[in-house]
């Protein structure tokens, strides 16, 4: 046996390398710990998204509240400024009426200038930016300024007749009626516009009055209720009314006055809160239903109808009304009104001794067709 030959029993079998397992191409599913980590990350992301949405909503709401409050403040400031201007215009108007009447043309020019100023203020009021919370206040405010402008225009047109003895009685009576329009405008502004604006401000959490709060202008246009008395007007204008007015009986004790309850045309009652459609031609006839709410019989009670921004109007006289009883009068306009929507005011002219005249007038939006 060769030295290099080994017995068969002692030979070591050659090692074979382990076979590598062939990949099947699939991915190993993550274990439970990995799934929990993924779920946690998803929950954190969802929480971040929710917080972001809430923050955006809060920011948007804050911006909306800030914008609304700013709009309410701007509106209040505009109304306060315009009413202050209107009151100042009224001061100039009454100063002119109380001045010398030796030059009727100059007086008329001065009064017409005041009317022009009032018309410009009315135009500005109509163009205000109005938040929804004060829509009702805006409607009353515009109507108040409209009544002031119309009253000034009507009074300016009656000055010449008032200064002439043969026409003084009717002209002075008409002027007194328009003074009642001024009084009604103050009621509209102070008792309706101002409380509605204050209510909107406070509802929005805005401080009213005091240091740093929103300031309210509550000035009134009519300087004194004495301007409702025809004799006071005649004395101011330095005109003499007919002797029948001078020798009239003294005002009897007790309450005096009337209340206008409704107005109708052709049997249809007009509504103050909605536009009323009325044929413009022939000239409409308005029926005014009113009651004597005083304690005295009244004589020569005047019923009057006027159209805002127009010389078309009408009036009639009821010879007598009885205390506690209702009556009516029919007023035919002196012309055909222009087609379109206008403010129509019906008035029972205050009688001597009447103190409460807030219920003497009703104003309606009318669409003349």
298 - beta bridge partners?
Answer: 321
Band of the pLDDT at 248, cuts 50, 70, 90? low
- Return mean pLDDT, the chain: 86
For residue 198, pLDDT beyond 50: yes
pTM of the model as a whole = 0.57
Strand order from edge to edge, sheet including 285-292? 268-269, 258-265, 285-292, 326-332
Q: Please state which of the ranges 109-123, 232-246, 281-295, 299-313 shows the lowest mean pLDDT.
A: 232-246
CA dist 350 to 190, 231, 234, 330, 343, Å?
21, 13, 16, 17, 21
Looking at residue 71, what is its pLDDT? Answer: 92
Q: Output phi, psi for 159, to 5 deg.
A: -65, -50
What is the tens place of the pLDDT at every residue in 68-104? 899 999 999 999 999 999 999 999 999 999 988 778 8
348: left (phi over 0), alpha (psi -120 to 50) or beta: beta
What is the tens place of the pLDDT at every residue in 314-357? 888 999 999 999 999 999 988 888 899 998 999 999 999 888 88
């Amino acid at each position: 046996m060769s030295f290099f030959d080994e017995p068969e029993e002692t030979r070591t079998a050659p090692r074979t390398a382990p076979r590598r397992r062939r990949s099947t191409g699939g991915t190993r599913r993550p274990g439970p710990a990995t799934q929990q980590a993924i779920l946690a990350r998803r929950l954190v992301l969802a929480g971040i998204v929710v917080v972001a949405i809430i923050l955006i909503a809060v920011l948007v709401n804050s911006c909306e509240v800030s914008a609304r409050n700013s709009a309410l403040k701007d509106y209040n400031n505009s109304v306060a400024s315009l009413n202050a201007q209107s009151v100042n215009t009224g001061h100039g108007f009454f100063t002119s009426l109380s001045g010398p009447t030796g030059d009727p043309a100059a007086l008329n020019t001065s009064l017409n200038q005041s009317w022009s100023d009032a018309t410009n203020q009315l135009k500005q009021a109509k163009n205000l930016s109005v938040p929804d919370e004060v829509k009702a206040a805006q409607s009353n405010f515009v109507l108040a300024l409209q009544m002031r402008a119309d009253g000034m225009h009507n009074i300016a047109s009656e000055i010449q007749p008032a200064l002439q003895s043969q026409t003084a009685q009717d002209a002075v009576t008409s002027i007194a009626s328009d003074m009642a329009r001024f009084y009604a405008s103050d009621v509209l502004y102070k008792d309706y516009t101002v409380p509605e604006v204050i209510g909107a401000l406070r509802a929005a959490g805005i401080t009213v009055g005091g240091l740093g709060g929103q300031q309210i202008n509550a000035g009134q246009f009519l300087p004194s209720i004495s301007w409702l008395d025809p004799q006071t007007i005649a004395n101011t204008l330095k005109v003499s009314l007919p002797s029948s007015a001078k020798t009239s009986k003294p005002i009897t004790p007790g309450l005096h006055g009337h209340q206008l309850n409704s107005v109708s045309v052709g049997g249809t009652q007009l509504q103050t809160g909605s536009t009323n459609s009325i044929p413009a031609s022939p000239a409409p006839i308005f029926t005014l239903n009113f009651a004597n709410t005083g304690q005295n019989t009244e004589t020569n009670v005047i019923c009057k109808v006027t159209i805002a921004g127009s010389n078309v109007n009408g009036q009639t006289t009821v010879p007598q009304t009885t205390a506690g009883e209702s009556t009516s009068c029919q007023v035919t306009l002196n012309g055909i009104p222009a087609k379109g929507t206008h403010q129509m005011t019906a008035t029972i002219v205050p009688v001597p001794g009447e103190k409460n005249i807030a219920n003497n007038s009703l104003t309606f939006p009318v669409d003349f067709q």
